[in-house]
């Protein structure tokens, strides 16, 4: 049997996730990345510096993150394999890798939106969806809340599930935590708007690169799980501003026969983004229920991949 670390990580995340009590007590591992990014930003993202100096500071921040996350992950993995026999090394590496996945957390957050909508509590639904999206939610109607939740579910399926799984399968512990460090940096500083701009350039571009294959895999998995959506995915994936996020969103739009994305508001400002999909523009709680079912089935396909790797592949990490 080959190394089953990816399968173990999936099982641990699906079974327990990252419990709220544990989060309140010790936080989450990505919190250490956020602290390091904040420290570097305070030091190297001074608006008085030139754009070039700030870009170099952002590159230095990214390299520091990769050395801590990737280098630290490699060292821990190497020492565990050196000192412990199998299966103990597998179990510990799986235990250290699973917090980088978000299968259970993503499902729980989106299910909370569905429960509120199903109970006709639009205020609670707006609050719940506001936990997982960055857009203005207080003016959203039921359809707007539903579409926002579906879009976040599809996009986060890549960022929170497929991409970390991909890098774990490919490079093991250093791969999965290097990805999480880069993804955290992108979410914090990888924006064109002030005060980031040049400082976040390296994080944004590296995140785009690391999601290049996983985003397309995520779209394919959602099409397989949803029994369709291929044509919409190939046609509309590039309607998204991100080179990657459009793939899973377009796949989900096609599978559900919905129109996603489109005009939205951030901080009170309307942004006329193009539509993704050519189906219905009015979504309801049943659509969100089906989206969750497609998500679960797509995750099960990942379990199948991990199981086949554990059974037949060589020692990959």
The whole domain housing 70 covers: 5-312
Average pLDDT over residues 160-178: 97
Residue 316 has pLDDT above 70, yes or no: no
- What is the reported pLDDT for 268? 60
Q: What is the CA radius of gyration of the chain?
A: 20
What pLDDT, in 10s, does the model give residues 228-268?
999 999 999 999 989 999 999 999 999 999 999 887 766 66
Classify residue 295 as exposed, middle or buried by CB count within 10 Å of its CB (0-12, 13-18, 19+).
buried
How many folded domains does the chain comprise?
1
Tell me the pLDDT band of 273, cut-offs 50, 70 and 90: confident
Percent of the chain with pLDDT over 70: 96
Whether the Cβ atoms of residue 215 and residue 244 lie closer than 8 Å to each other: yes
- What is the reported pLDDT for 261? 86
- What is the reported pLDDT for 138? 85
Residue 124 lies in a domain: yes
What pLDDT, in 10s, does the model give residues 131-154?
998 777 888 999 999 999 999 999
- What is the reported pLDDT for 254? 97
What pLDDT, in 10s, does the model give residues 61-76?
999 999 999 999 999 9
For residue 87, what are the CA distances in angstroms to 1, 21, 91, 182, 317?
11, 29, 6, 30, 14
pTM: 0.94
Residue 261 lies in a domain: yes
Q: What are phi and psi of 245, to 5 degrees?
A: -60, -25
For residue 54, what are the CA distances in angstroms to 89, 197, 235?
41, 9, 37
- What is the reported pLDDT for 266? 67
Supply the mean pLDDT for the chain.
93
Residue 263 lies in a domain: yes
Cα 99 to its chain centre, rounded Å, is 13
What pLDDT, in 10s, does the model give residues 275-308?
999 999 899 999 999 999 999 999 999 999 999 9
Whether the Cβ atoms of residue 21 and residue 114 lie closer than 8 Å to each other: no
Residue 317 lies in a domain: no
DSSP helix/strand/coil, 100:
helix
Residue 294 lies in a domain: yes
What pLDDT, in 10s, does the model give residues 191-214?
988 899 999 999 999 999 999 999
């Amino acid at each position: 049997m080959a190394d089953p670390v990816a399968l173990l990580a999936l099982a641990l995340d699906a079974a327990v996730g990252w419990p709220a009590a544990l989060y309140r007590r010790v936080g989450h591992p990505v919190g250490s990345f956020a602290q390091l990014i904040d420290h570097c930003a305070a030091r190297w993202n001074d608006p008085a510096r030139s754009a070039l100096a700030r870009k170099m500071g952002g590159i230095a921040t990214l390299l520091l993150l990769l050395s801590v996350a990737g280098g630290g992950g490699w060292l821990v993995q190497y020492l565990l394999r050196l000192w412990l026999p199998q299966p103990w090394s597998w179990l510990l590496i799986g235990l250290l890798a699973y917090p980088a996945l978000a299968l259970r957390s993503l499902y729980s957050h989106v299910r909370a939106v569905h429960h509120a909508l199903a109970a006709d509590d639009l205020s609670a639904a707006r609050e719940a969806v506001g936990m997982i999206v960055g857009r203005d939610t207080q003016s959203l109607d039921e359809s707007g809340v539903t579409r926002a939740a579906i879009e976040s579910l599809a996009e986060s399926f890549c960022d929170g599930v497929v991409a970390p799984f991909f890098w774990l399968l490919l490079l093991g512990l250093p791969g999965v935590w290097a990805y999480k460090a880069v993804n955290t940096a992108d979410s914090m500083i990888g924006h064109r708007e002030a005060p980031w701009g040049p400082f976040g350039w390296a994080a944004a571009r590296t995140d785009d690169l690391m999601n290049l294959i996983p985003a397309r895999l995520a779209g394919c998995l959602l099409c397989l799980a949803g029994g369709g959506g291929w044509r919409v995915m190939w046609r509309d994936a590039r309607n998204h501003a991100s080179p990657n996020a459009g793939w899973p969103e377009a796949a989900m739009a096609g599978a559900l026969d919905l129109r996603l994305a489109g005009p939205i508001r951030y901080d009170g400002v309307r942004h006329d983004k193009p539509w993704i999909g050519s189906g219905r523009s009015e979504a309801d709680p049943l659509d969100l229920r089906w989206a969750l079912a497609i998500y679960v089935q797509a995750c099960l396909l990942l379990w199948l991949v991990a199981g086949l790797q554990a059974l037949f592949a060589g020692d990959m990490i």
